[in-house]
Structure 1
Amino acid sequence: MINESHPVHALVASKRIEFTAKSANPMVTQSLTAIANSGLIAPGNTVSRIDLNGNGNFLRIHGDSVTANLPYYGERQFGGGYGDASGIEFDGLPDNYVQDFDAIKQKYTIRFQINDLSDNYTVYIDIYPNMSGLVSVNMANRNTIQYNGRIGTIEKR
């Protein structure tokens, strides 16, 4: 069992959480496989894992609000309009925010819904004691994508 004084407990309780993705794991589809087969995926990446180191992406929980700027790789289910964000971008107050600690699996799970002008997002964040994280984003208009990365605290400014 994880000790109650472990830093992950204090971090989740503070609601000053920053997730930085190190890799994206898009849903593998026939279209993405065709892109990979045409040689359009950068060396070192695969259709199921794309390296994001140095990308500057994030998902932040700051008090009652959430902000994200994550790249998206995958298929859109409906046509997009001009000026639509190509990534996963939102900033605002989430709906149905819940955070739970699973003592058996030794992880926190945070889930919420949030909307922007172009999509509705359901976000699941798993936070582990080693400060690694897994973020899964389900969308109304695009295929699901997962991100692996690191969890830290948002520095006070």
Structure 2
Amino acid sequence: MKKGILFTLLCIVTLGLSAQTKSEKAYEQTKELIVSGNYFFEANKALPTTGSSVSLVTNRGYLKLKDEQLTIYLPYFGEMYLGGGYNGGGPIAVTKGKVHDYNIKFNDKKHRLIITFKVKNSSERFDVTMNVDRLGWTSIIVKSMDRSTISYYGKTRVLKTNMVSSK
């Protein structure tokens, strides 16, 4: 009887350690990906500050960072402050923009990374905050002086050569 109880306790402890190891491993892989500076975020949902969430299944947005150059195409659903009306400004778009003030904060306790940076296109500057969990699920908040704030949700993964090469 005692052997059975000890065996059960040993199994429970071993399973707990194994799960913790998998979680740690996933977090370390995500950290390596972000620190490499070469990754791809694909948005599957937009969350404007006004209104409900918008599925991006048929019009996926993305953010691609490669060799310190950022390319962004994120459909925009919100208000423009200077000129234009609802959705009048088109998507948030940057082509091979230079990233400024790039910063990564590691929250090892919660297995999260917070990335902040600034980037601009020909007419706007964007402040971007990315919250990445241990599995790569990411929420992005994009702020601009010319538009209302908008958030996106999706997955950050390894950048492959064929990802949005035409855009």
Matched positions, count: 136
Q: How far does residue 118 in structure 1 lie from its aligned partner after superposition?
A: 2.1
| Residue 35 of structure 2: aligned partner | 13
Q: Post-superposition shift, 1:79?
A: 0.5
Secondary structure of 1:121's match?
strand
Match of 1:24 among 34, 37, 46: 46
User: How many Å apart are 1:10 and its aligned residue?
Assistant: 1.9
Unaligned runs of 5+ in 1: 29-46
Shift in alpha-carbon separation, 1:9–1:150, aligned structure 2, 3 A: same
Match of 2:65 in 1: 61
Greater relative contact order, per chain length (Cα 8 Å cut-off, separation 6+): 1
Identity within the alignment, %: 24
Larger Rg: 2
Separation (CA, whole Å) in 1 of partners of 2:66 and 2:89 = 22
> 2: CA distance between counterparts of 1:85 and 1:59?
18
- Which secondary structure state, in structure 2, belongs to the residue aligned with residue 141 of structure 1? coil
**Partner letter of residue 3 of structure 1?**
E
Render the CA deviation track for 1:72-110: whole Å, top value 9, x for unaligned.
000001115xxx951100131111111121123321111
Q: Give the Cα separation in 2 of the matches to 1:150 and 1:16.
A: 14
Q: Partners of 2:161 and 2:77 in 1: how far apart?
A: 32
Tell me the residue number matched to 1:3: 24
The 5-angstrom pairing of residues 1-157 of structure 1 reads 3=24, 6-28=28-50, 47-80=51-84, 86-91=90-95, 92-156=97-161
More helix by share: 2
- Normalised by the length of structure 2, the TM-score is 0.74
Unaligned runs of 5+ in 2: 1-19, 163-167
Q: After the TM superposition, which segments of 4 or more aligned residues of structure 1 sit over 4 Å from their partners?
A: none
Cα RMSD of the aligned pairs, angstroms, is: 1.9
One-letter amino acid matched to 2:139: L
SS in 2 for 1:7: helix
